[in-house]
Structure 1
Amino acid sequence: MWPLTNGLRCLTGPEAALFRGGIGMMVIDLVTELNTEPEDGHPSYFDDDNVDDFGFSAPRWYSMWEPGQRVWLLERVTTSLLAARSAPPPSAIFEATIEAVYVKIADLIAMEITTGTPIQRGSWRGSLLDAYVQRCPHDSLLGALQFEATTIDPCLPPSVTRQWNAAQASSDDGESDSPDAQPSTASKDDASRRKQKSRADEPDWMAWWTSVIERLVDATYGPRLYRGAEEYRDGDPKLLQRFLRSKGVNEKFMHRIPPLRSRSQTQAAVGRLRAIVFKGD
């Protein structure tokens, strides 16, 4: 169980389904990474700018560790959020691990948009909206934006996009039909400009979906303390200690690190994660 904004509890329903899906994809990635690790005992090269396929960067407090350590981190947060195990002590590494799951979900949503996958039951965007409605059922802003997202989303049928473009073109024609408008012989240039303007006026859907994820994480877990603590980490230690005490966490919040474990221990952890994530599949 995890200290969520509505008490010490586990994720349930659509929230749990969304989180479980993100964990499942991360486990697949980590297994691939583990299977390609060098076996001569030398650590693999660590890229400090760990960026997913579509440009989303996982928090450094998660991505900086070796694959086996990241498996351990995922198991700790997964068993607490989905399987009722007691939450680990408040630590930067666990906060960053939870955030990394939602960064992965953002990456999967970007892939959906890029490949033209429609919003439907079981899609990442559909699952995200379901989770948000569960967490924030009275969010009027989401209600308006949800309607927008499910009627003008670029991955819905092309007829909807044509309607959007037609509406923009009609607006432009209305401007050109005004009494002060002058006739133009460069109709092709005008059409090209209208098309470019229509595209420019279309919503930035990835930014919108990212904002929904951020609002969901804030509403579920509250502010991430490690972000504020980072500002003090390289300064006066007393200021960092004062900040941590003011937030109700101890001085080890920024010092805990995931343990290095044997390959057999990591494989066992992967098996336990799969049993939780793919339960019922």
Structure 2
Amino acid sequence: MWPLTNGLRCLTGPEASLFRGGVGMMIDQIVMELNSTSEESAPPFVEDEPSSDFGFRPPRWYSMWEPQQRVWLLERVTTSLLAARVAPPQSAIYEATVEAVYVEIADLIAMEITTGAPIQRGSWRGSLLDAYVQRCPEDSLLGALQFEATTMDPCLPPSLTRQWNEAQSEEEAADANQTSEANASDLESSSSPSDRNEDSLGRKTRNSANDSREEEPDWMAWWTSVIERLVDATYGPRLHHEAERYRDGDPEMLQRFLQLKGVNDKFMQRIPPLRSRGQTQAAIDRIQKMVFPDE
């Protein structure tokens, strides 16, 4: 069980399904990494943190460790979030591991978008929407996220597309009324009809919903906002982001920060153990049994 925003609980339903899928893909990648690296040769040193082809960077407190250590972290987190095991002490490594799972989900969604796959039951975007609705049933998806995209993903379910279009139409109507009232005198004195398509700074204004929907949207920014909102609503703030700023500074400032947040002084000191190949394989088997229960 994990200290979620609604109490000490496990993930259930669509939330658990989404999390299991992300962990399953991460374990598959680690297995490939272990199989491609011989025990005699050490992996090459990489100064920068790894990132996917889509630019998503896993948290440093997860990605900095060896594959065997990442397996250990994933097992600790997965067994606590999906089963009755007590959550480990609040630490940067565990917070970062949970966050890394959702970074992986963002990467999978980006891949799904680039391949043009539709949103349907079992798709990553569909699973994310299901998890969001479960966590925030009374939250207005579009209003809460304040999307900057000018159109919806064309693969979205029709109900969400209609909701977005209605919100866009209302916003455009309000903007048009406000603009017409504020610039009524300027519009009347305009010498050319084409001038009415620009504001006082020469920026083009939107005259219709069709004009706004011709702009190219940033689909991944839209879906990343959904993921961020879901993680915030599920787990609350992640302290390791703020604590990282104090890590290389005055130790007393870090201690004061941790005390202020109600966590112990080992929050930034815990490290995952480096385990043997046999121990790692046993942990992989246990994780796969949890995330793929029907196989």
Q: Structures share a fold, TM > 0.5?
A: yes
Match of 1:11, SS state, is: coil
RMSD: 2.8
- In structure 2, relative to structure 1, the CA distance for the partners of 1:156 and 1:249 (3 Å cut) is closer
1:4 CA drift (Å): 0.5
- In structure 2, relative to structure 1, the CA distance for the partners of 1:101 and 1:219 (3 Å cut) is same
Give the equivalent residue in structure 2 for 1:221: 235
1:52 CA drift (Å): 1.4
- In structure 2, relative to structure 1, the CA distance for the partners of 1:242 and 1:156 (3 Å cut) is closer
- In structure 2, relative to structure 1, the CA distance for the partners of 1:235 and 1:181 (3 Å cut) is closer
1:143 CA drift (Å): 7.0
Distance 2:57 2:152 in 1: 28
Distance 1:5 1:104 in 2: 22
Give the equivalent residue in structure 1 for 2:176: none
Give the equivalent residue in structure 2 for 1:249: 263
Match of 2:244, SS state, is: helix
- In structure 2, relative to structure 1, the CA distance for the partners of 1:96 and 1:39 (3 Å cut) is same
Q: Percent identity?
A: 76
CA contact (8 A) 2:243 2:257 kept: yes
Distance 2:155 2:141 in 1: 22
CA contact (8 A) 1:116 1:154 kept: no
- In structure 2, relative to structure 1, the CA distance for the partners of 1:104 and 1:14 (3 Å cut) is same
CA contact (8 A) 1:113 1:154 kept: no
Residue 268 (str. 1) matches residue 282 (str. 2): yes
Unaligned runs of 5+ in 1: 165-177, 183-196
Distance 1:141 1:133 in 2: 8
CA contact (8 A) 2:15 2:134 kept: yes
Normalising to structure 2: TM-score of the pair?
A: 0.78
1:179 CA drift (Å): 7.0
Unaligned runs of 5+ in 2: 166-190, 196-210
Give the equivalent residue in structure 2 for 1:137: 137
CA deviations on 1:162-202 (whole Å, 9 max, x unpaired) are xx9xxxxxxxxxxxxx97359xxxxxxxxxxxxxx878723
**Which stretches of structure 1, 4 residues or more, deviate above 4 A after TM superposition?**
143-146, 197-200
1:153 CA drift (Å): 1.5
Distance 1:220 1:142 in 2: 18
Amino acid across the alignment from 2:79? T
Q: How many residues align?
A: 248
Map of 1:111-260 to 2, 5 A cutoff?
Answer: 111-142=111-142, 152-155=152-155, 180-181=193-194, 201-260=215-274
Normalising to structure 1: TM-score of the pair?
A: 0.81
Amino acid across the alignment from 1:125? R
Distance 2:144 2:89 in 1: 39
- In structure 2, relative to structure 1, the CA distance for the partners of 1:15 and 1:259 (3 Å cut) is same
Higher helix proportion? 1
